[in-house]
Amino acid sequence: MRLGYGLIGAGFMGKTHTLGFLNVNRVFRLPVEVELRKVAEYDAAVAERAAKSLGYPEFTGDWRTLIGDPAIHIVSIATPGTTHCEMSLAAIAAGKHVYCEKPLATAAEAEKMTAAGEAAGVKTMVGFNYIKNPMMRVAREIIDSGEIGEVRTFRGMHIEDNLMDADIPWHWRLDKAGAGGAMADIGSHILATARYLLGPIVEVLGDVTTVIPSRPVAGGACQTRAVEVEDIARAFVRFERGCSGVIEANWIAAGRKMQHDFEVSGSKGGIFFSQERFSELDLYLNDDRPGRRGFHKIFAGPEHPPYGDFCIAPGHQLGFNDLKTIEVRDFLRAIAGDTSDQTSFREGWEVQKTVEAIYRSSREHRWVKLQ
Ligand SMILES: NC(=O)c1ccc[n+]([C@@H]2O[C@H](COP(=O)([O-])OP(=O)(O)OC[C@H]3O[C@@H](n4cnc5c(N)ncnc54)[C@H](O)[C@@H]3O)[C@@H](O)[C@H]2O)c1
């Protein structure tokens, strides 16, 4: 099967999507082959520059033209969150398979997007790329096999410092009309990871704070605009399987670049992971003899699929864009009928429901159950 691909939004994520679709048929053997066809930006001149640099034969300054193109079967949406719902619904209505970035949308919008995708019978995907890491699969295998015993607790975080400087101007990530602040934007990743490893979260107790209350309207401007979304969000969480945990999302944590980190403790041992060293997983086994107990490091290698499709030797490490290539593989497999690793819009909706339950809990100062 040969399918045409179109990208809407050629910024940071648009480039990673492009690399993913360019590489996927070279790294993996798949029943679907993809051809880059068109890129859309908010303006034709920007789209033309993107087409030249990323290698698309066609471009448009109007995303609706891309969605209307019958030669395009798969659409990536890598634009600011407030556009995701309208673009996804239009793409689904045109019969396209849709791969949209996180946070998917507000929960109300995500519900509509999920229903539309499922009713149309097209395949959807959300960009929770960190769960595509081969070491995440190892972590889940260790948990599921009982190697660390009964899981007692989860500590997870997604922490960065990209907004720690109060002089950084107001921009679309801070738009209250979107899915939310730190917990929606970056916290959605660690919520997806928590759910991938341990299953559904059923109850939350949240605490949400805006530390920097206003920002310049543009670089160097004196005029400011109020920030109405949170910089830090924390939550105690309870999982359906019975264990509890704590989750933090924070984009003003000095010196922290990509702490998508977690620790899972069980009755026989534990695992620790940090995204800043994402080709490693630390494992602690309480059965080790006294005097020798301690976390030991497992380095990613060909025995941890699909690492071996990228590199035949262990310890050489994958990169961020490789995670996107794995995500694209899982999307193409879903389009071909194997949905076992599809992270669909339904998952994006579940994650956003958790985000909004945390916000509600913080507002109302009480535990909130998820429906
Ligand atoms: N999965 C991840 O790890 C990850 C990382 C960063 C960002 N994201 C998500 O990806 C999405 C995009 O973020 P980004 O960092 O790439 O932003 P970005 O600002 O770098 O890129 C967004 C692009 O969309 C374009 N755009 C805006 N409105 C448009 C419109 N109406 N039509 C066509 N193009 C339009 C902009 O011109 C820009 O080039 C967001 O949802 C963000 O949360 C995901």
Residue 148's pLDDT is what? 98
Q: What is the mean pLDDT of the chain?
A: 98
Query: Is the shortest distance between the CB of 129 and ligand 1 below 6 Å?
Result: yes
Give the mean model confidence (pLDDT) for residues 299-316. 97
Q: What digits encode the pLDDT tens for the residues 73-98?
A: 999 999 999 999 999 999 999 999 99
Q: What digits encode the pLDDT tens for the residues 243-276?
A: 999 999 999 999 999 999 999 999 999 999 999 9
Q: Do residues 368 and 208 make contact, with C-beta atoms less than 8 angstroms apart?
A: no
Q: Produce one character per residue of 362-371: b if its CB has 16 or more CB atoms within 10 Å, e if not.
A: beeeeebebe
Residue 276's pLDDT is what? 96
CA 135 to chain centre: 16
Closest-CA residue, ligand 1 atom 29, reads 42
Query: Is the shortest distance between the CB of 90 and ligand 1 below 6 Å?
Result: no
Q: What digits encode the pLDDT tens for the residues 103-119?
A: 999 999 999 999 999 99
The encoded tokens of residue 211 equal: 């530390």
- Nearest in space to 209 (alpha carbons), one of 188, 189, 234: 234
Residue 371's pLDDT is what? 79
Q: How many angstroms does the Cα of residue 184 sit away from the middle of ligand 1?
A: 15
Give the mean model confidence (pLDDT) for residues 183-201. 98
User: Which spans in the chain are helix H?
Assistant: 12-27, 44-54, 63-67, 84-93, 107-120, 134-144, 182-185, 187-198, 307-310, 320-335, 345-364
Apex 102 CA angle, 321 and 79, nearest 5: 85
Per-residue DSSP letter, 242: S
Atom of ligand 1 nearest to the CA of 79: 24
pTM more than 0.75:
yes
Give the mean model confidence (pLDDT) for residues 214-231. 96
